[in-house]
Amino acid sequence: MRGDKITVVTSFDVSFAKEPGVKSQEGFVPFLTTDDITRGEVPCALVEVQSTTISRVVSESASLSTALDRQLYERWVAQIWVHSEPTYTPEWRHKLTIPGILVTDAKSLYDHLNTTGKIPKERQTMIDLLVARDLIEANAVKLMWVPTKHMLADILTKMMLAGDIFKRFREKQVFSLIRDGVEQEEEQRRLGLRQGQGQRRKARDKAVKEED
């Protein structure tokens, strides 16, 4: 794996209030790979695996915050290993030369950080998302969405058996952020369904307002 092509990828996930005491479970899988992972299957080197019970009953933003903080540290270490120790300034997060990709299967989170300007009401959630959005907009980290089938961290937050993609990652140490044609067609079908639901909801709201 060439040092000038190393990328740190972190798949993260969370389950909501399914643990005793209405707690949530978060998990993430960071690994070293190359930037070719956005174009096809490539070798990967697992860095660590973490699954932790958290008391906050919130959205994916809690897991996003943990995964982002941990990834920044791992990219810092990788940069020291490949290049040299970076200059420590208040802007060090924006100046890391080792790229980073965060991977989520939460479409609402992905859309929120990439396409909307809405601010959540819950204070901690707002802080988590604003920090991530700042780094994403500055191209200091990339956020990618994958279907749940491709979510490596899913097995760390739920009682479930490992799927074929996770098994291949574990046994062959390979992974890809590109879905095959069948999965992309299914993704487009679901997108069409969501868009249709949104349009019908808007039409109903409009009709109710006109009646009033």
- Whether residues 168 and 211 fall in one domain: no
Distance in angstroms (rounded) separating the CA atoms of residues 68 and 192 = 31
Judge if 170 and 200 occupy the same domain: no
- 165 in the same domain as 79: yes
Question: pTM for this structure?
Answer: 0.77
What range does the domain containing 194 cover? Answer: 180-212
Count the domains in the chain: 2
Same domain flag for 118 and 19 = yes
Residues 140 and 203 in one domain: no
Q: Determine the Cα–Cα distance for residues 77 and 100; give it in Å rounded to an integer.
A: 13
Neighbouring C-alpha atoms within 13 Å toward the C-beta of 147: 16
Helix H or strand E encompassing 111: helix 107-115
One domain for residues 172 and 189: no
| Whether 25 and 121 share a structural domain | yes
In this structure, are residues 141 and 100 in contact, taking their beta carbons and an 8 Å threshold?
A: yes
- Looking at residue 180, its amino acid is D
Residues 163-191: tens digit of each pLDDT? 889 999 999 999 999 875 445 555 555 55
Domain identity same for 116 and 207: no
Q: 105-157: per-residue pLDDT in tens?
A: 988 888 888 875 566 666 667 777 888 889 999 999 999 999 888 899 988 88
